[in-house]
Chain A
Amino acid sequence: MTATVRPAPVIGGVAPGDRLDLRICWWITVGFYGLFGVIFVLLARVMPPPGADLSTEQIVAFYADHRTTIKIGFGILMVAIGGAAIASGIVAYEMTRMSVGKVFVYTYIVSLSVGALPGCLLAAICCLTATFRADLDPQVTELLFDITFLSFVGSLGCFVANYSILALAILLDENEVFPKWMAYVTIWQIVTELLAAPVFIFRTGPFSWNGVISFWEGTALFGIYMMLLIRLVRRNITTPAAVS
């Protein structure tokens, strides 16, 4: 992608420059997503998700096997979740440099903020409850397990709005803050989010919450999207402007 090495555009006669405050926010963003990956994949073991067709006994065993790591992982997340605000804030800052109206920025921030509740916090809290209250009725544990993964994989409305508004902003932006192809990469996220909706219906197969389409394909494309977005923000905040 040649666009990633081009100098950042100058907007309103002001070069984005090499600003320390933005660099700090960028590193916090990278650190937050790194921590997010460690917590969800290595500690809490919810990525990749366990099967949607587990029996009650298997679910109880899942929590028993990973009790300590879930407590450590999601316990850290309860403290570090604020990093999500900086991660969306730095993209919102880039959007303020676009030629589009501020309503795009507000929509981006609000949709991510609301989406983080079912997409991250509710899942983590249900998982923590199931592990900290080990004497729960197994059927209640099963309910918490279902809520964890249905909200984690199946909550998509706010994210669809989030991706849509970012894609539209990039396409309409005349300042070329982000290259146009990034809008299309963002549109792919909308499609994969929509295909996560069937997780409420299917317990097995490609559209279950650990299915090859609903989970794996969406996660792979999200990884690519996130890396490109972080890379482009980095380009904009560190590359000296071509014209001053």
Chain B
Amino acid sequence: MRRRLLAMVPSGEDLDVPGSINMWLFVVGELFIFAFYFFVFMMYRTHATADFVGSQRHLNLAVGAGNTVILLTSSYLVALAVQAAREGSHDRARRLVRWTVALGVVFMTIKLGEWAYEVRHGYTFPSDDFFMFYFALTGVHLFHVLMGLGILGLVLHELRTPALQRQFVVEAAGTYWHMVDVVWIVLFALLYVLR
């Protein structure tokens, strides 16, 4: 029975996925974990919608929207980088990944600036349930952006080294960066937009 079940699970080599099957498993797992956080957030929000909306007004929608555009643009650039690497234009791919990293750093800088602004105005982690989730969820996301920048750094090393330049590494990094983007879009909707 067990063997039959295992036979139904394709091994990495059998699956024709961009990047690496391990990275896809990681991304799917990450999405489940974030979905759990979003579920808990919505549970708390449902019980105190007015309070959550009241606190949400202290966030700057334009800053959140600006960061969304920055991250979406970076995702577009990493997709172009994957395309360039597939065509063998490794120098172009490297330039595009560098721009992706730069936009990731800009995203982090804006987010940290936003945190500082909120804290200066008295809205801190323990202020209320909304800001508890705001700092925790954006903090966890920021940690993923940081990991993404580490992975993109690895890609730059790959693209710089002619002996490496492995396509699946570039694709796996792109997969991860898109996940970081998708999670942010949901976070943006939940924290900034949802009334």
Using a CB–CB cutoff of 8 Å, the interface residues on chain A facing chain B are 1-3, 5, 179-181, 183-185, 187-188, 191, 194-195, 198, 201-202, 205-207, 212-213, 217, 221
Residue of B nearest to A212 (CB): B40
Contact B22 A202 (CB under 8 A): no
Apart from A188-B30, A191-B140, A206-B40: 10 A-B pairs, beta carbons within 8 A? A181-B22, A181-B25, A195-B136, A198-B125, A202-B126, A205-B132, A207-B132, A207-B136, A213-B37, A217-B33
Contact A2 B125 (CB under 8 A): no
Interface hits, B118-148 → A, CB 8 Å: 125-126, 129, 132, 136, 139-140, 143, 147
B20 close to A (CB within 8 Å):
yes
B130 → A minimal CB distance (Å) = 12
Give Cα distance in the complex from A188 to B126, angstroms. 25
Give Cα distance in the complex from A180 to B172, angstroms. 13
Using a CB–CB cutoff of 8 Å, the interface residues on chain B facing chain A are 6, 9, 11, 20, 22-23, 25-26, 29-30, 33, 36-37, 40, 44, 125-126, 129, 132, 136, 139-140, 143, 147
Give Cα distance in the complex from A221 to B147, angstroms. 19
Pick the residue among B6, B25, B129, B140 that contacts A205 (CB under 8 A).
Answer: B129
A170 → B minimal CB distance (Å) = 10
Main secondary structure of the interface of A (DSSP, over half): helix
Residue of B nearest to A184 (CB): B26
25 CB contacts below 8 A, A to B, read: A1-B9, A2-B9, A179-B22, A180-B22, A181-B26, A183-B22, A184-B23, A184-B26, A184-B29, A188-B29, A188-B33, A194-B140, A194-B143, A198-B132, A201-B126, A202-B126, A202-B132, A205-B44, A205-B132, A206-B44, A207-B132, A212-B40, A213-B40, A213-B136, A217-B33
Q: Which residues of B contact A198 (CB under 8 A)?
A: 125, 132, 136
With A181-B25, A206-B40: A191-B9 Cβ-Cβ less than 8 Å: no
Q: Which residues of B contact A194 (CB under 8 A)?
A: 139-140, 143
Give Cα distance in the complex from A26 to B11, angstroms. 27
Give Cα distance in the complex from A167 to B109, angstroms. 27
Q: Which residues of B contact A191 (CB under 8 A)?
A: 33, 140, 143
